[in-house]
Amino acid sequence: MREILFDTETTGIVPDHEDPRQCDRIVEIGCVEVINLERTGREFHAYVNPGRSVPQEVVRVHGLDEAFLRDKPRFADVVGGFLEFVADAPLVAHNASFDQNFINAELRRCGLDQLAGDRFVDTLVIARKKFPGASCSLDALARRYELDRYGFDLAARKGAGGHGALVDARILAEVYLQLQGGREQRLAFDVEVAAAAGETGAVTFMRRAPRPSPLPPRITAEEEAAHAAFIAKLGENALWKRTGS
């Protein structure tokens, strides 16, 4: 199953406002393609000129200031590539309503159809059901699942500019896999079964062909006689006699 894990960085938290100049805008989009929960390596990433100021408190989170964004394309220039990449796949995000509202607000400004709500999967909802009462922020989940083992620099995320849409989407892809059962569920012990299920990314264990001739027994005649004597003492209902061993 193909899904798109994605994240956005913005100028704030208000995608719609009666005064258009007060609307917050997207400044970065990051998307990661997964098939059967495994990353394929295909990604979509774009920085976006929001056409407005970027508050310093937001810059401290993602590090994208007006000087950096000034020569970047507008959303209308990147939306075609974004929609082509996501196609009709489900869209998975952490606190999905936030990203959904921003994406749809930008689509409306471009005169394009909005993305249906039932396309979005919210990993925050999944995490809260799995860990009731615990912190379920993306960073908390990354620490819980020890994603630094997979090369993610979790310490760097505590500093200024430590968050970014693409790196967050990559982290989310790993968190989503763990929330759905982890890598253990990817083990397929029969090649034919895995192939039939389309599990091309599964770990498979190849069955060895039988030896053309059995190995000679390593037990000695004395050991075999001692074993037979021991079995004789167990009585007629001994398990060894039932199995023919």
**Is-catalytic flag, 163?**
yes
Residue 210 lies in a domain: no
Each residue's pLDDT tens digit, 165-214 = 999 999 999 999 999 988 765 554 444 444 444 444 445 445 556 667 77
Q: What is the pLDDT of residue 227?
A: 83
Locus of tokens 């027994």: 217
Residue 136 lies in a domain: yes
Give the global pTM. Answer: 0.74
The CATH number of whichever domain residue 6 belongs to comes to 3.30.420.10
pLDDT of 235 strictly over 60: yes
Catalytic residue among 17, 45, 163, 227: 163
Residue 178 lies in a domain: yes
Residue 199 lies in a domain: no
Instruction: Characterize 38-53 residue by residue with b for buried, 16 or more Cβ atoms within 10 angstroms of its Cβ, and e for exposed.
Output: bbeeebbbbbbbbebe
**Cβ atoms 106, 79 nearer than 8 A:** yes
**Cβ atoms 48, 78 nearer than 8 A:** yes
Question: Could you give the number of structural domains in the chain?
Answer: 1
Name the residue range of residue 26's domain.
2-184
Residue 201 lies in a domain: no
Neighbours of 32 (CB within 10 A): 27
Residue 29 lies in a domain: yes
Residue 36 lies in a domain: yes
Each residue's pLDDT tens digit, 52-95 = 999 999 999 999 999 999 999 999 999 999 999 999 999 999 99
pLDDT of 13 strictly over 90: yes
